[in-house]
Amino acid sequence: MKPIKLTMTAFGPYAKKQEIDFSKLENRKMFVISGKTGAGKTTIFDAISFAMYGKPSGDNRSAADMRSQFADPKQPTEVELLFELKGQSYFIRRAPQQQKPKARGDGMTSMSASAELYELKEDGSQLLLASNVRDTDEKMNELIGLEANQFRQILMIPQGDFQKLLTAGSQEKEKLLQKLFQTHFYKRVEDVLKEKSDALKKEAGKALEQQSLLLKGLPAFSSSMKDLLEQEDVDKRAVFGQMETDLTEMNSQQRECQNKGNELALKRDQLVAEKERGIAIHAQFDRLEAAKQEMDRVLKQEPIVREWQKQMDDAERAEKLLAYDLLEQQAVQAANKAEQRFKEADQQKKAAEQRNNQASERLLQEKEKQTVRDQAAAYLQQLEAMKASVLDYQSAREEAVRTKEKADQAEKRGKELAGQEKKLSEVLHQTNQQLQSVQTAKETFMEAAHHIEKSKGLIDLYREWQTVQQTILTHERITEEIKEQYKRKEQEAEEARQLGQKRRINWSRGHAAILAGQLQDGQPCSVCGSAHHPNPAASASDHVTDQMLEEAESRVNALNLESRKVEQKWVEAKSSLAHARENGDKLLMKLPIGFQMDQAMAELKEQEDRKSCAAEEIELKEKTEKTLLDLKGKKEILMQQIEQNQQREKIELAASFEASSVLKQLERAVPESMRDTSFFLAQWKQAKEEVQFLQHNYEQAASEAHAAHTALQSAASVWQERMEALEAAGQSKKAAADQFQQRIQEWGFASIDEYQSAKQHLEQLPLLKEKVTAFEQKKRDAAHLIKELQAALHGRSRVDVEELDQRIKGINEEWAALGDQAAALQSQINETIRIRNKVEEISIQMKKAEEAYRMAGHLYDITHGKNELKITFERYVLASFLEEILVAANIRLAAMTNGRFLLERLAERSKGNAQSGLDLLVFDQYTGTSRHVKTLSGGESFKAALALALGLAEVVQNYAGGVSLETMFVDEGFGTLDPESLDQAIETLMDIQADGRLVGVISHVPELKERIDARLEIHQSEEGSTAAFVFAGES
């Protein structure tokens, strides 16, 4: 960072606006700030520090205390700094929280702190980077790469702080070097190793606990296993040995159960086969009885079947006469149709004779009207000759009226346009006057918009902070709820584990009781082999089945899983709560000190009102200018319309005069009674229709007379034809009737009624045949089945199936008991094997976890400082950076002390638990020994501190960790040096100018002011201080 121009207003002893233009130094890289005590030398540093960080350069002063006591109360305190960083120019403006007179009334009001940061472009434009204190602080920290206290220790070393870096302890140096060299990553390595170590330790503990629970749940098949499991500390090796013995015995007993079960199954299958054969014989006897009953039902239907056979024979004979019956019916229908057609022809003939007589009489009447037709034609001819003149007269009269109206309209339009022109001129005059009265408001609008944006940013920030506070309350409530839920889940899981252990013990006892129930005196026990059973296991009242045991263990696993899930949610909830609190703190730090929401809302309302008023004025001006432009355009168009209307008025008057002349000529040619076109056309139309009507009636009468005569001749011819057809149909009808009667007698029917009765069964003939055939088939089938079953059952009797069922049931019960015993053994075998495999799997996992834990824990101890040097991993890295800094610092310290002193790092571990690794010693060539830097004298300490600061700046600049160290300010120390040491210190400072670094020194030492040709002199007066650069050779 390199300052270019510093501007202070009402800041410290500077009552008015004070500019310090560092660009006046030109190529000079060192200057002295001189003045009397209290004049304001250190205030220069305070102003630069305040502009960049919002804090003065010393810890004993606050930003609010920097308000000038000499300033006018209305003059606000403000600092502006134009500076260059990494080749880019920036401008920052800050104002501390302060009191100002109220805008209305007496008294003072509080003004919040403010800050703005701009990036200056090459084209002269400014880019706003931050507009409030919070954003400006964050952006400056990002740009500079140093916090305020680090800036003071490295670049701006005020009074009392010069030797802090030299004498600071390891922890203080660690914080500074962390920021400078960005070594937080190495600290993160320590944290990750700790998290990994803790997680592995917890994983191993959980695995050991799970292994113990599994072993406790082993089935106690033998008394030896029971004794081992009841011990407080289970001997895993002994349990595994007994487990193999128990598995061998359980497998042996299970095989014995399977052999007995196979023998019973074979015997049961034989009985089942015998039962199935008996059931088959029973079914055949039942079928024989059913077949005999079916034969009895069939024989009872024989009378009905004989009646069906008679109806079937009659229907077949009637079917032979159907063709003759149809011929006789067709002949009757033909005769009836011929009679009906003759009647129709007779009626048509009589109607034709009547129409012919009427048409002849009407034609005679129309011939007598010839004179009337001639008179109507003559009148129509007279009207046709007059028609053209009448139509011309009507057109001329309409044209005369139309041209007269258009001439009148043109005259009226001319008067209207003249009135509009007068009104428009008046409006133009008024609009010009209104435009002159509107003042420019754009500057007011922009200023108000800037303040509104600034106020809204603070208000939104405050509301966001309030929202975060509500979120914090919600997270606190949720975290507490999840914590209680976790406790409940842990309690439920513990209760379920106890229940599972209890059920496992009862389950084992229950299986022991089952085995004890199978013991017989004198027979060896399947478990221990003893033939004596003095104290067999008794069945417990709370017997536990395999399903109950499985349900209990499933519930334990489910609750353990739920508990882990709730625990994870609790951890996440606590993390969310911490994150929310951190966000709340960050937001609060970004708000100005003493921020008041009501005051901010009032200021926002005031600026919005200003902006609204300015916007209305701007809008009014724009509308007025547009209106004026529109009015001028309208007037121009109106003048064109007036000129056009004057030309039109002349043309319309000439046309009106010409139309009146033509009308007068036509009035002399048309009679007055016919001048009405509507009346004339109605007379002409009526005459024309009369002529057409008379002629049409005559022609129609002649046509109808001819048509009636033709129709009469046609009707007479049809009448004769149908008379002959009627006689022929009667003869055919009689012949068909005679032939049908003869055929009925031939086929054995006594009468037509008997034939008709037989004919009714024709539709049922297929069904009758089907019924008779089905009856005969059923009769044959029943007889055949009876004969077949009697032959198959000859010499046989029914089997007692119920007695066989009882014997099979007894064998099944015995076989099921063996199955239950085998299943119980298999369940114990499976559970034992499952637990054995799971324990072995966990053992492998435990071994891996323990090995990983030993490695991670060892690495964490080393990186956390539990080593011979008692130094953390991050501090070890920082120590290497410090070594580089000391190399650069010792070059300068040797030059300033004639090679007597060199700085070195204390590598030995500290006493007790104190962390070390960054403390400094000074090696004295005179004594050949090292001692603590705190033992140096005032002048020696100044040299060492100056050398260390310059070395630190050089190393940080070389690493370029985002930090630009182009400036250094020193505020004390030179007065403690003797002349030789002073020369050496000045030479050292001069050396760093080769890097282009600017060095400012506050000093009262005359020799220093003489050696450096640029001075910033501070002059003190009763009205406040002023500052100005003075260069060598100037008065």
Q: Diameter of the chain by CA atoms? A: 176
Residue 666 neighbours by CB under 8 Å, 6+ apart: 389, 392, 393, 396
Provide the strand spans (E) within 234-342.
Answer: none
What does the alpha-carbon distance between residue 167 and residue 180 come to, in Å, rounded to a whole number?
A: 18
- Count of positions (residues) in the chain: 1035
**Sign of the torsion formed by the C-alpha atoms of 482, 485, 487 and 493:** negative
Residue 981 neighbours by CB under 8 Å, 6+ apart: 896, 897, 939, 943
- Does residue 685 lie within any of the structural domains? yes
- Does residue 353 lie within any of the structural domains? yes
- Residue type (1 letter), 574: K
Supply the DSSP string of 851-864, one letter for each residue.
Answer: HHHHHHHHHHHHHT
- Does residue 528 lie within any of the structural domains? no
Task: Locate 64 and state its tokens.
Answer: 């609010």
Q: Which of 697, 714, 746 delimits the end of a domain?
A: 746
CATH of the domain at 95: 3.40.50.300
Chain centre distance of CA 843? 46
Going edge to edge, which strands form the sheet with 901-905? 901-905, 920-924, 929-932
DSSP SS3 for 1026: strand
| Helices vs. strands in the chain: H and E counts, helices first | 22, 17
What does the alpha-carbon distance between residue 216 and residue 470 come to, in Å, rounded to a whole number?
A: 50
- Does residue 602 lie within any of the structural domains? no
What does the alpha-carbon distance between residue 517 and residue 533 come to, in Å, rounded to a whole number?
A: 11
- Does residue 258 lie within any of the structural domains? no
Supply the DSSP string of 724-782, one letter for each residue.
Answer: HHHHHHHHHHHHHHHHHHHHHHHTT-SSHHHHHHHHTTSTTHHHHHHHHHHHHHHHHHH
- The residues facing 111 across adjacent strands are 98
What does the alpha-carbon distance between residue 243 and residue 236 come to, in Å, rounded to a whole number?
A: 10
- The residues facing 924 across adjacent strands are 901, 929
Residue 130 neighbours by CB under 8 Å, 6+ apart: 115, 116, 117, 136, 138, 139
What does the alpha-carbon distance between residue 739 and residue 720 come to, in Å, rounded to a whole number?
A: 31
Q: Which of 724, 746, 768 delimits the end of a domain?
A: 746
Residue 54 neighbours by CB under 8 Å, 6+ apart: 63, 94, 96, 113, 115, 133, 136, 137
Residue 556 neighbours by CB under 8 Å, 6+ apart: 493, 496, 497, 500
- Residue type (1 letter), 525: C
Residue 680 neighbours by CB under 8 Å, 6+ apart: 383, 386, 387, 390, 674
pLDDT, residue 367, reads 78
What does the alpha-carbon distance between residue 982 and residue 994 come to, in Å, rounded to a whole number?
A: 20
DSSP SS3 for 117: strand
**Sign of the torsion formed by the C-alpha atoms of 577, 578, 581 and 587:** negative
Q: Which of 697, 728, 746 delimits the end of a domain?
A: 746
What does the alpha-carbon distance between residue 456 and residue 453 come to, in Å, rounded to a whole number?
A: 5
Neighbours of 670 (CB within 10 A): 18
Name the pTM for this structure: 0.41
Chain centre distance of CA 467? 22
pLDDT, residue 621, reads 73
- Does residue 825 lie within any of the structural domains? no
Residue with tokens 């297929």: 766
What does the alpha-carbon distance between residue 574 and residue 557 come to, in Å, rounded to a whole number?
A: 26
DSSP SS3 for 17: strand
Residue 531 neighbours by CB under 8 Å, 6+ apart: 521, 522, 523, 524, 525
Tell me the angle at which helices 873-896 and 979-991 cross, rounded to the nearest 10 degrees. 120
| Rama region for 748: left / alpha / beta (φ>0; ψ in -120 to 50; rest) | left
pLDDT along the chain (1035 residues), means of 10: 91 91 87 86 88 78 74 88 90 90 78 90 88 89 77 62 70 76 74 80 77 74 79 77 85 85 84 82 82 83 81 79 81 86 84 84 80 80 75 75 79 80 78 60 72 84 86 88 83 80 70 64 58 56 73 80 79 80 77 74 84 77 77 81 79 77 73 74 81 82 85 84 83 81 80 79 81 83 84 78 83 82 81 82 80 79 75 82 88 86 80 66 90 84 82 71 69 66 72 72 76 87 89 70
What does the alpha-carbon distance between residue 369 and residue 374 come to, in Å, rounded to a whole number?
A: 9
Do residues 968 and 155 make contact, with C-beta atoms less than 8 angstroms apart? Answer: yes
- Does residue 178 lie within any of the structural domains? no
Chain centre distance of CA 122? 44
Q: Please state whether beta strands 88-95 and 114-120 pair in parallel, antiparallel, or not at all (unpaired).
A: antiparallel
DSSP SS3 for 712: helix
pLDDT, residue 119, reads 93
pLDDT, residue 93, reads 94
What does the alpha-carbon distance between residue 52 and residue 44 come to, in Å, rounded to a whole number?
A: 13
| Nearest CA-CA partner of 457 in 112, 96, 132 | 132
Residue 989 neighbours by CB under 8 Å, 6+ apart: 30, 946, 999, 1001
Task: Locate 869 and state its tokens.
Answer: 């040097």
Q: Please state whether beta strands 901-905 and 998-1002 pair in parallel, antiparallel, or not at all (unpaired).
A: unpaired
Q: What is the DSSP letter of 22?
A: G
CATH of the domain at 703: 1.20.120
Q: Which domain holds residue 107?
A: 1-155+1004-1035
| Rama region for 928: left / alpha / beta (φ>0; ψ in -120 to 50; rest) | left
Q: b/e string for 548-578 if b means 16 or more Cβ within 10 A?
A: ebeebbebbeebbebbeebbebbeebeebbe
Give the number of domains in the chain. 2
Task: Locate 149 and state its tokens.
Answer: 């206290």
What does the alpha-carbon distance between residue 887 and residue 905 come to, in Å, rounded to a whole number?
A: 11
- Does residue 42 lie within any of the structural domains? yes
DSSP SS3 for 218: coil
What does the alpha-carbon distance between residue 903 and residue 932 come to, in Å, rounded to a whole number?
A: 10
What does the alpha-carbon distance between residue 941 and residue 167 come to, in Å, rounded to a whole number?
A: 9
Task: Locate 152 and state its tokens.
Answer: 């003071």
What does the alpha-carbon distance between residue 52 and residue 429 come to, in Å, rounded to a whole number?
A: 58
What does the alpha-carbon distance between residue 1024 and residue 39 come to, in Å, rounded to a whole number?
A: 8
